[in-house]
Amino acid sequence: MPKKQIFLKSGPRQLTTAVDWSDKHCRRSVVASLVKGVYILERDRQKNRQESQALAPPWWESFHFQLSQKLIDNKDLSIFGAIYEYKYPPSSSSSSSRNIPHYVIAIRGTLIKRRTWSQDFKLNFRCLLNKLHQSSRFQQAMEFLRKTVKSKGESSVWLAGHSLGSAMALLAGKEMAKEGHLIETYLFNPPFFSALLEGVIKDERMKFGIHLATSVFKTGLAGLNIAVNGSRAEDPFAVLSPWVPYLFVNPDDPICSKYVGYFEHRKKMKENGVEIFEMVATKNSTLDLCFSVLGMDSGSEPLHLLPSADLTINRVQFPDIEDDFADYKKFRRAHGLQQWWNPFPYESMRYNYNTTNGVECSS
């Protein structure tokens, strides 16, 4: 039986007694475990494990949650998400439960197994094309989210996801923010599809120069777009800026590492007195601007464009591996979910978008 699926062998050992819900790192560990529970739910299904053999329940029951509902894909019938409901222990006081959600919607990422890989990779392709909002998985998650927020209030529900699942959670959080509901959201290794500057170019001065040139180019395109089509009725970043999702990224993971440069560049542009370009560039994609100038609608919004975020970067140094699969093993560890529930060296920055002065950063 795989050790990684067994909570007592690979789960968060530091939380075996009690959870300090006022500590965001404890909350991170719990939520990452809940997302892991979705992966194991699907593996239990695939392995036909009966209730007495199931490995998934300890991943949520250890933190006083119960499984309220499974989210099932209507194409391959796989479990892609779960809705957990918190059951307060008898000794819980109102003060200690203040930071605990009533519900958590958790969504798994790609599961490379015979029964799931085909549909999961189709959704990854949709994500790449910014068409994830058209998928039945996303629409199913949004239906429950809206229903719960309407009946219980936005503070009662959290969103969480890993990899492909974090893309869905990010999109759902954006949609709710546009409707005026700020949902606490935890995004583990969220995909960032853009130019691959990070990791390819090492020289920081050259990297900044390329970013600056790109920002100036985008600003010019945005100005041309306004001249051709007129200005927007409202600034989408102004609407989204109060929503601050938690992003957890590893710089060795090419799927999510671009978020590090995305936010750092905005900070550097402000430090160098050229934030006027970045305030325009950071809220637009080059492709969408080109479509708009040509009078065409791309029909989607790039997922990675975010005004504000609480960014945690995993700074662990993985030991070098010398074999034919070294790069793949390094990627698996950097993209894996397990890193987020155990202690690790980290750098944490909070980026708040100000509609007047651009990004404001605090550690």
Choose the weakest-confidence range: 30-34, 35-39, 151-155, 176-180: 151-155
**pLDDT of 92 over the 70 cut:** no
> How confident is residue 17, by pLDDT bands cut at 50, 70 and 90?
low
- Cα–Cα distance measured from residue 214 to residue 220, given in angstroms and rounded to the nearest whole number: 10
Report, as an integer, the average pLDDT of 306-335: 84
**pLDDT of 204 over the 90 cut:** no
- Cα–Cα distance measured from residue 239 to residue 76, given in angstroms and rounded to the nearest whole number: 36
Choose the weakest-confidence range: 44-53, 87-96, 108-117, 184-193: 87-96
The residue to which tokens 């790109």 are assigned? 214
> How confident is residue 95, by pLDDT bands cut at 50, 70 and 90?
very low
Of residues 103 and 96, which shows the higher confidence score? 103
What is the rounded average pLDDT for all residues in the chain? 82
Report, as an integer, the average pLDDT of 334-339: 95
Of residues 29 and 266, which shows the higher confidence score? 29
Cα 248 from chain centroid?
A: 7
Could you state, in order of their start, the residue ranges of all structural domains in the chain? 3-194+235-271+307-362
Report, as an integer, the average pLDDT of 52-68: 95
Report, as an integer, the average pLDDT of 247-251: 96
* Biggest distance spanned by C-alpha atoms of the chain: 66
Residue 263: its pLDDT value, please?
86
What's the 3-state SS for the chain? CCHHHCHHHHCCHHHCCCCCCCCHHHHHHHHHHHHHHHHHHHHHHHCCCCCCCCCCCHHHHCCCEEEEEEEECCCCCCEEEEEEEECCCCCCCCCCCCCCCCEEEEECCCCCCCCCHHHHHHHHHHHHCCCHHHCHHHHHHHHHHHHHHHHHCHHHEEEEEECHHHHHHHHHHHHHHHCCCCCEEEEECCCCCCCCCCCCCCCHHHHHHHHHHHHHHHHHHHHHHHHHHCCCCCCHHHHHCCCCCEEEECCCCCCCCHHHHHHHHHHHHHHCCCHHHHHHHCCCCHHHHHHHHCCCCCCCCCCCCCCCEEEEEECCCCCCCCCCCHHHHHHHHHHCCHHHCCCCCEEEEEEEEECCCEEEEEC
**pLDDT of 289 over the 80 cut:** no
> How confident is residue 173, by pLDDT bands cut at 50, 70 and 90?
very high
What is the tens place of the pLDDT at every residue in 293-309? Answer: 445 455 556 788 899 99
Q: Is the pTM of this model over 0.75?
A: yes
For the domain made up of 3-194+235-271+307-362, give the CATH fold: Rossmann fold (3.40.50)
Residue 44: its pLDDT value, please?
96
Report, as an integer, the average pLDDT of 97-103: 84
**pLDDT of 268 over the 90 cut:** no
